[in-house]
Chains A and B, each alone.
Chain A
């Protein structure tokens, strides 16, 4: 099954090693970011989901991923930028450990859209972590969402779209810094949303953005 997704095609030994490394990295990420996890009107589940969150730090994907319980984590793949995560051996190794789904931001074709690629990769089992703001946000308010989330929902209406708010991680590792300051952060999972029948793209994206924003004040 794993071979189908182009991961861990080697012997079982590699997968065990990857498993151990990923658990270790998850623990380190949790300690470093001091992340507390809240599930509000929402439960961890292995059903197919798209976790969408605000994006303020390079640690977002790792910390969100490590906030999931182990069995959910094993099925969940962060979507990340290929140009960043394929630079250098350490990043590439980490991207593989987290089973990241790397998207080429510079080479987007019509017949090979990132959304199609994501849907093909996750099949009928895996979940995704996406950051619909696109790039990391330096403003204090969450920026407008890119349309990818809308097309994911439109093409696969069965996916649960789970809003996630990440608080204070931008101070742990701000944009442009490479040394983290071990402050405390908070990851809040909210109740899933779905694309309503006939809901316009901009309306849906605004509703999705607000569903993340409201978790900040709960």
Chain B
């Protein structure tokens, strides 16, 4: 059974989600408030994605060890779907087909199998399977297919997709296997804290940008990301992180620092994925999927923040 801190954290998030859902539905039903309906729809989609994330992560907290496996399986499916979206929007050639087949059916499941086993001995394999072995396999398999046109570019696209959608995201469920002194059996709460900060930072950067945004960082990439929004988002996410320190193994200052790092990385992820989207001329990764904004659009910041959060926690707070 989770302790009181965890319960209050989840309870607080549920309360906020409930309020946000109510606001979203009310805005949808009264179109005369003067807010862009597309914005309201985007907001509601985001809320729905959060309900799903919250349910999964809270499930992991309540069910304990068996749910660790379930959480890893859920993250596997998210990775798998995000990779589908990524490769779908990235032009590949016939010669890439066999390499892609192994990327989807071997490397992606294997990476999550290693996370799911959660055995210390495999932690080296966990960190090298994709950046070393998959990265060597992909160009070799593409070369064997005999098509050298734009070879390096095609290989790099597959590698980038695998790196961002699978390797980086797999660090999030890997948090569950960390051994932190005086924080036994509470790593699910830490994962919850991490996802919460990343998602809040997304919203806070957007909100600060709307309120104070003047200086756009890179207009061609994302007209809505401003320095004011970025700084405001990182600062307020750090404050929230510090205020939630009691749910983590960190002191208030450490929690603020972690939240700041996670926020900067989340921003970097959003920026990078926007650049890829602009290059491909699409709004969302879910363009081929009717009626939802795309999984990759929801998790881009998580992908970039997860490895850094994992490593900092592991080297400074966990037994290794």
Contact A184 B100 (CB under 8 A): no
Q: Enumerate A39-96 residues with CB–CB distance to B below 8 Å.
A: none
Q: For residue A188, which residue of chain B has the nearest CB?
A: B290
Q: Enumerate A107-163 residues with CB–CB distance to B below 8 Å.
A: none
Contact B288 A174 (CB under 8 A): no
Q: For residue A175, which residue of chain B has the nearest CB?
A: B94
Contacts of B92 in A (CB 8 A): 171
Contacts of A179 in B (CB 8 A): 98, 101
Known A171-B92, A177-B97: A36·B84 in contact at CB below 8 Å: no
Contact B94 A36 (CB under 8 A): no
Contact B290 A183 (CB under 8 A): no
Contacts of B97 in A (CB 8 A): 171, 174, 177, 181
Contact B290 A38 (CB under 8 A): yes
Interface check B228, CB cutoff 8 A:
no
Partner of A181, one of B100, B288, B289, B291: B100
Q: Once bound together, how far apart are the Cα atoms of A168 and B91, in whole Å?
A: 10
Q: Once bound together, how far apart are the Cα atoms of A186 and B85, in whole Å?
A: 12
Q: Once bound together, how far apart are the Cα atoms of A12 and B80, in whole Å?
A: 40
Interface check A34, CB cutoff 8 A:
yes
Contact B288 A182 (CB under 8 A): no
Q: Once bound together, how far apart are the Cα atoms of A179 and B290, in whole Å?
A: 26
Q: Once bound together, how far apart are the Cα atoms of A100 and B155, in whole Å?
A: 39
Shortest C-beta distance, B164 to chain A (Å), equals 16
Q: For residue A177, which residue of chain B has the nearest CB?
A: B97
Interface check B275, CB cutoff 8 A:
no
Q: For residue A186, which residue of chain B has the nearest CB?
A: B288
Q: Enumerate B268-304 residues with CB–CB distance to A below 8 Å.
A: 288-291
Known A181-B101, A184-B84, A184-B88: A174·B94 in contact at CB below 8 Å: yes
Q: Once bound together, how far apart are the Cα atoms of A111 and B128, in whole Å?
A: 66
Shortest C-beta distance, A187 to chain B (Å), equals 10
Contact A184 B85 (CB under 8 A): yes
* B98, B104, B288: residue with the most chain A Cβ atoms closer than 10 Å: B288
Interface check A185, CB cutoff 8 A:
yes
Q: Once bound together, how far apart are the Cα atoms of A168 and B104, in whole Å?
A: 17
Known A181-B100, A181-B101: A168·B88 in contact at CB below 8 Å: yes
Contact B290 A37 (CB under 8 A): yes
Contact A182 B290 (CB under 8 A): no
Contact A183 B84 (CB under 8 A): yes
Partner of A168, one of B100, B288, B290, B291: B288
Interface check B87, CB cutoff 8 A:
yes
Contacts of A34 in B (CB 8 A): 84, 88, 288-289
Q: Once bound together, how far apart are the Cα atoms of A184 and B104, in whole Å?
A: 13
Q: Once bound together, how far apart are the Cα atoms of A36 and B289, in whole Å?
A: 6
Contact A185 B290 (CB under 8 A): no
Shortest C-beta distance, B97 to chain A (Å), equals 5
Q: Enumerate B144-200 residues with CB–CB distance to A below 8 Å.
A: none
Q: For residue B94, which residue of chain A has the nearest CB?
A: A174
Q: Once bound together, how far apart are the Cα atoms of A185 and B89, in whole Å?
A: 11
Q: For residue A167, which residue of chain B has the nearest CB?
A: B288
Contacts of B98 in A (CB 8 A): 177, 179
Contacts of A183 in B (CB 8 A): 84, 87-88
Q: Which B residues lie at the A interface, using CB under 8 A?
A: 80, 84-85, 87-88, 92, 94, 97-98, 100-101, 104, 288-291
Apart from the given pairs A168-B88, A179-B98, 20 other A-B contacts in the complex at a CB distance below 8 Å: A34-B288, A34-B289, A36-B290, A36-B291, A37-B290, A38-B290, A168-B288, A171-B88, A177-B98, A179-B101, A181-B87, A181-B97, A181-B104, A182-B80, A182-B104, A183-B88, A184-B84, A184-B85, A184-B289, A186-B290
Provide a sorted-by-A list of 17 A–B residue pairs whose CB atoms are within 8 angstroms.
Answer: A34-B289, A36-B288, A36-B290, A167-B288, A168-B88, A168-B288, A171-B88, A171-B92, A179-B98, A180-B101, A181-B97, A181-B100, A182-B80, A182-B84, A184-B85, A184-B88, A184-B289
